[in-house]
Amino acid sequence: FSDLQRKLGEAKGGAESTASGFSGLQSAIVTLNQAWELGQKVVGKFTGALTELLEVGGKFQQLKIQLEGVTGSAAAGEAAFAWLVDFNKKTPLQLEDVTRAFVKFQAVGIDPTKGLLQGLADAVAFFGGSSDQFNRAVMGMTQVAGKGTLQMEELRQQIGESIPTAIPMLAKALGVTVPEVFKLVEQGAISDKIAFDAWTVGFKEAFGGASQRLMATWPGAVSNLRDAWTLFLNALAQSGILSEA
């Protein structure tokens, strides 16, 4: 009987040892899986950061080439970019959008530093507009400049929708009623210069400082943080860090 008890005890010990071994193996597998998941997350974060760095660097390389093209030289392009960085600190818009607007204005003969770009940014900010509305108004104005005259499509569908007071503001500047503005537009009697001069003055009088006031709010602070992050990534991309890696 004692011999049987001893054998049973040995069997029990062997079973416990085997169970302990399986438990240890299971723990090792769990730990390995956790390490794999963590590694995947790290690689994913790194890949995402690298992709963002490349995208930002590539975009601003293109924009700087465009700035050089519309300003006439690399030095003038650098000066324009520095002006844009300072300009954008006082607007809730994204630096990329403002830079593209500068390039488009300059390309069609509108000097962005003479007040129209600032007035447009202030007007969009006043009405709580988004980058999409700003870009839409920019597209409308560049089309007007390209055609040489103000036409109904740009007035109503692009500029007028982005800035609700743009049409009555133009009528006031011309000393006519809104219906009379439409008639003049249909006749092709309002040149791009007349319209832009009217809006430059009108935007400043009605909305001057709206962008800067918005920068004192939470949305303005978030916009500044986004631009700061974008400029940081661009500086990294231009530093040659990728070629050294």
Whether the predicted model's global pTM rises above the 0.85 cut: no
Calculate the average pLDDT of the chain.
81
| 8 has pLDDT over 50 | no
Question: For 158-214, what is each residue's pLDDT tens digit?
Answer: 999 999 999 999 999 999 999 999 999 999 999 999 999 999 999 999 999 998 888
Sign of the four-CA dihedral 151, 156, 162, 168:
positive
How many other C-beta atoms lie within 10 A of the C-beta of residue 45? 10
- Sequence-distant (6+) residues with CB within 8 A of 166 are 123, 155, 159, 160, 199
Instruction: Phi first, then psi: give them for residue 215, nearest 5 degrees.
Output: -70, -15
Query: Which pLDDT belongs to residue 166?
Result: 96
- Sequence-distant (6+) residues with CB within 8 A of 223 are 91, 92, 93, 94, 215
